[in-house]
A and B are shown apart, each in its own frame.
Chain A
Amino acid sequence: MLRFLASRLGTAVLVLFVLTLVVFVLSRVIPGDPAVVYAGPKAPPEELARISEKLGFDQPLFVQYFTYLGGLVTGDWGNSLATKQPVLDELATRLPATLELLFAALLIAVVFGIVLGVVAAKRPGKALDGAIRFLAIGGVSMPAFWLGLLLQVLFVGRLGWLPATGQFSTEVEYVSPIAHVTGFPLFDSVITGNWVAYGDGLAHLILPALTLAAYPLGLIARMTRASMLEVLGQDYVFTASAFGLRSGIIRWKLALKNALPPTMTIIGLAAAYTLTGTFFVEVVFNWPGIGQFAVNAMLAVDYPAIMAITLLGAAGYLIANLVVDLIQARLDPRVRLS
């Protein structure tokens, strides 16, 4: 177990190192002057030269790269060219918003995905199965930004039930400001008993979380259905049935446990994929998280920010995969950690 973890971590570090090199080189060979990003589009040549010198853009590429690597290991990831703030601070203030959104979306996707998958497998080919399959395929194939806009038009524009954008209403900030405890605003509003903010935050969370959940939900539902059908066709299920076990117990206890491992793999992949989904969802819903910051960084060719986001994203992906492997080993004794 320890050896497994050590080797996986070693690989992860290597992957991240190679990634820094690739992203660094790619982001510097495309034309465009980083000093312009820093100073604004109309800054005169002398100002651009001064900034280039100050920020080291006039140095040879490999010098810049090693300076960057040196900073990386000592915790100095550089300042964003667009906001001038340390990139790590920028990410730290935005991460909670993204994690809350991601967590809510995955919770919806896992719970409803598994339930829908099991229900669909009950009577394959019947109307309910068809409806669920339609929903699942829709969820997987609908682009997030499009679905987000549709939900906004329906729930905000037509029905007026939910707020369109942002994480909290302006009023909340002046009437029931959220105390900073853990840094996760929705969680903080619960533990400080700030129910006005909690209700408001929850209302704001619903649409972006649903939008973000659509893809993993569809994936999980389809996978659960397929592996349930396979498990339900096996001998021990017939045996259990012959012994008179209630079909609900067979389905939700016996069969589901054996159908879960493939679903777990999918959940891991979907979780990692959903991370990129936040890019679109956060822009559409003006969600103050990392995704929106990432999109702006890429549009502005803000190198330090792009580097940090890429590394963070890759680390998130690697961690998600590792966690899935560990859980899978727990669920299925046949899987060995080696």
Chain B
Amino acid sequence: MAVTRARTRRALTLLAVGAAGVVGLAGCTVGGSSANTDSSVLSVAASAAVTTWDPVRSFSTEALYLGNVYEPLLWKNAEGAAEEFTPAIAESWEVSDDGLTWTFDIREGATFHDGEPVDAEAVAASIEAAKDHAGASFIWAPLETIEATDDSTVVMHLAYSAPMDLVAASTYGAWIVSPKALEASAGDEQYFEVGIDAGTGPYTVKSYSPGEKVVLEAYDDHWNEEALPHYDIIDIAITPDAVTAQQMLTAGEVDLATSLPLENIDTVASDLGSEVRTANSPFNFVAFFNTTRPPLDDPKVRQALSYAVPYEDIIEVGGAGYGTQAHGPVPKGIFPYSEDVPQYSQDLDTAKTLLAEAGHADGFTLNLTYASENSAEARFVPLIKDAFAKIGVTVEVRAELFNQQWENAKADPATAQDIFVVYYWPTYSDAGSDNLYSLFHSSEAPFFNLSYWSNAEYDALVDEAGTLTGSDRDAAQAKYEEAMNLLVDQAPGIFLYDAQAVSIVPTGLEVADFNENYPFTTFFAPIRPAN
């Protein structure tokens, strides 16, 4: 592994200091980690696997790395920030009154890691590639044409109004990629997979060992001098097991761990003398009812079951208390979330009354499936079973790998499960066009609508709201709220809880706040040693 001379010297100093630290600390504490010294290497344990390095096709957990290596036109700021967006590759942008024409001014002086300049042509080519074959290409569906009118101007013409600012800030399918790499990958689909990157971000991929390690190196020519990284090297051990990550963090082998077992968070934090930080996340738990057959085709039965669920206990057990009861399927902090959307709360008497009115006083039996790799679901599903038993409903529970659970659910609603527990998040920061549409808008073949629910009134509301989002967001919000009210009333699913993002910021580090718009990304550039 080639390391430059200057870096080697710095690292040597670090090792000497580290060794002295270990000797000095022997017997009193473990964890004299490099975070406490003036180091240029930040070591991290992260659970995120890389399914692809192709920035166009990427649609999974590799966003952790890609978000440091690539940049979109705009970054969407976390809920509560003064500005909604931070300009990245675009310097400014404007939209026509009808929401159909979006003009982006491209920043001058930015370069791709492979040396190519960033201009309007490169941006248009990236977005065309994304529209053509991105994993999340559907986010560009409203886009009819995109043209570079001059070196620094890109104009998007839409078929119908849509929020292109949100789309351009998506965590999937919106990275701006070097035209040279796009061309190379067009002929060779494996082009990126060895860990090649062609972005503009503050870090570049230095090396990649599949399933094992990702090393990022600071990109010294990044356009934003104010945001230059504080660490030269980010050394990331891919650690799928959260308990192992915890061991590594507490033993001082890594400075930062991106996922820790929720139930141990408090212990780890007090061991390390560091704070626990929580933030909104886009992750949300829903339990779909199979609405195609009795007894769950009856809204009254679905309402009864919604009244039987112990929401607070589920958050306590499933999320170790880190969560809030959901207002419909839109996660807290993401458009068009609203506190005004009603919630059910546990009321077993009402539940029994409703069941009796629906002619099911003696109860019935349902089967429920959940994803076995999701430990939160494994913990809270028994609570649903117990609660339903109290109103005479027997639940048979089955754990399946998500992939299998989903495959079975899509195959044939008539023979599918009665209740399907899902952990969902929107692809970009518009849960109207994603959660509300994907999960509950009627569709011919089920994909994510696994309650198989079909309601013309709901469909109309969501369709209308979708076209309003680009031109009049307040009007869209109002329509979506109407749709959510209807959804909660008709209860095609149980709206369980919005999970919180929980992290431990080790002492000695300053870390930026979690941004729910980029839930899989840990931004490394702003991380620095605390003074």
- Does the CB pair A165–B43 fall under 8 Å? no
Additional pairs, 10, CB under 8 Å, beyond known A170-B235, A175-B12? A31-B407, A32-B407, A40-B51, A45-B445, A156-B30, A173-B1, A283-B244, A286-B248, A288-B212, A292-B211
Q: Which residue numbers of A lie inside 8 Å of B, CB to CB?
A: 30-33, 36-45, 47, 80, 82-85, 90, 93-94, 149, 152, 156-157, 160, 163-166, 169-171, 173-175, 177, 283-286, 288, 292-293, 296, 299-301
CB contact between B138 and one of A30, A36, A44, A292 (< 8 Å): that residue: A44
A69 to B18, CA, bound (A): 52
A82 to B53, CA, bound (A): 11
CB contact between B41 and one of A31, A160, A170 (< 8 Å): that residue: A170
CB contact between A83 and one of B25, B43, B210 (< 8 Å): that residue: B210
Q: Does B403 contact A (CB under 8 A)?
A: yes
* Nearest B-chain residue to A297, judged by Cβ: B211
Assuming A31-B404, A84-B52, A301-B403, is B11 touching A174 (CB within 8 A)?
yes
CB contact between B247 and one of A33, A36, A39, A152 (< 8 Å): that residue: A152
CB distance from A82 to the nearest CB of B (A): 6
Interface string of B182-194 (1 = CB under 8 A from A): 0000000010011
Which residues of B in the span 57-108 have a Cβ within 8 Å of any Cβ on A?
57-61
Q: Does B303 contact A (CB under 8 A)?
A: no
Assuming A31-B407, A36-B403, A82-B51, is B251 touching A165 (CB within 8 A)?
yes
Residue numbers in A under 8 Å from B210 (CB-CB): 80, 83, 85, 90
CB contact between B404 and one of A30, A80, A85, A160 (< 8 Å): that residue: A30
Q: Does B27 contact A (CB under 8 A)?
A: yes
Which residues of B in the span 120-177 have a Cβ within 8 Å of any Cβ on A?
133, 135-138
Q: Does B325 contact A (CB under 8 A)?
A: no
Q: Does B380 contact A (CB under 8 A)?
A: no
Residue numbers in B under 8 Å from A33 (CB-CB): 403, 407
CB contact between B49 and one of A82, A170, A288 (< 8 Å): that residue: A82
Q: Does B276 contact A (CB under 8 A)?
A: no
- Does the CB pair A171–B11 fall under 8 Å? yes
- Does the CB pair A177–B235 fall under 8 Å? no
CB distance from A76 to the nearest CB of B (A): 14
- Give the B interface residue count (CB, 8 A): 65
- Does the CB pair A175–B427 fall under 8 Å? no
Residue numbers in A under 8 Å from B247 (CB-CB): 152, 156, 164-165
Assuming A157-B251, A170-B41, A296-B211, is B406 touching A36 (CB within 8 A)?
yes
Assuming A164-B247, A165-B253, A286-B239, is B193 touching A84 (CB within 8 A)?
yes
Residue numbers in A under 8 Å from B51 (CB-CB): 38-40, 82, 84
Q: List 22 A-B contacts (CB under 8 A).
A: A31-B407, A32-B407, A39-B59, A39-B60, A39-B135, A40-B52, A44-B135, A83-B211, A84-B52, A156-B30, A160-B25, A165-B247, A165-B248, A170-B34, A170-B254, A174-B1, A174-B233, A175-B12, A296-B211, A296-B240, A299-B240, A301-B404
Q: Does B522 contact A (CB under 8 A)?
A: no
Q: Does B14 contact A (CB under 8 A)?
A: yes
* Nearest B-chain residue to A34, judged by Cβ: B403
CB contact between A40 and one of B29, B59, B233 (< 8 Å): that residue: B59
Q: Does B264 contact A (CB under 8 A)?
A: no
CB contact between A171 and one of B18, B402, B404 (< 8 Å): that residue: B18
- Does the CB pair B193–A41 fall under 8 Å? no
Assuming A33-B403, A82-B49, A84-B193, is B373 touching A164 (CB within 8 A)?
no
* Nearest A-chain residue to B438, judged by Cβ: A42
Interface string of B397-410 (1 = CB under 8 A from A): 00011111011100
- Does the CB pair A160–B406 fall under 8 Å? no
Most chain A beta-carbon neighbours within 10 Å: one of B193, B213, B239, B244: B244
Residue numbers in A under 8 Å from B460 (CB-CB): none
In the complex, the 8 A-B pairs of residues with the closest C-beta atoms, listed nearest first: A40-B60, A83-B210, A160-B30, A32-B403, A164-B251, A40-B59, A32-B404, A84-B193
Q: Does B447 contact A (CB under 8 A)?
A: yes
A292 to B239, CA, bound (A): 10
CB distance from B188 to the nearest CB of A (A): 12
CB contact between B248 and one of A37, A39, A85, A164 (< 8 Å): that residue: A164
Q: Does B414 contact A (CB under 8 A)?
A: no
- Does the CB pair B403–A37 fall under 8 Å? yes
Q: Does B3 contact A (CB under 8 A)?
A: yes
Q: Does B461 contact A (CB under 8 A)?
A: no
* Nearest B-chain residue to A163, judged by Cβ: B253
- Does the CB pair A164–B253 fall under 8 Å? yes
Residue numbers in A under 8 Å from B408 (CB-CB): 31
CB distance from A291 to the nearest CB of B (A): 12
- Does the CB pair B373–A299 fall under 8 Å? yes
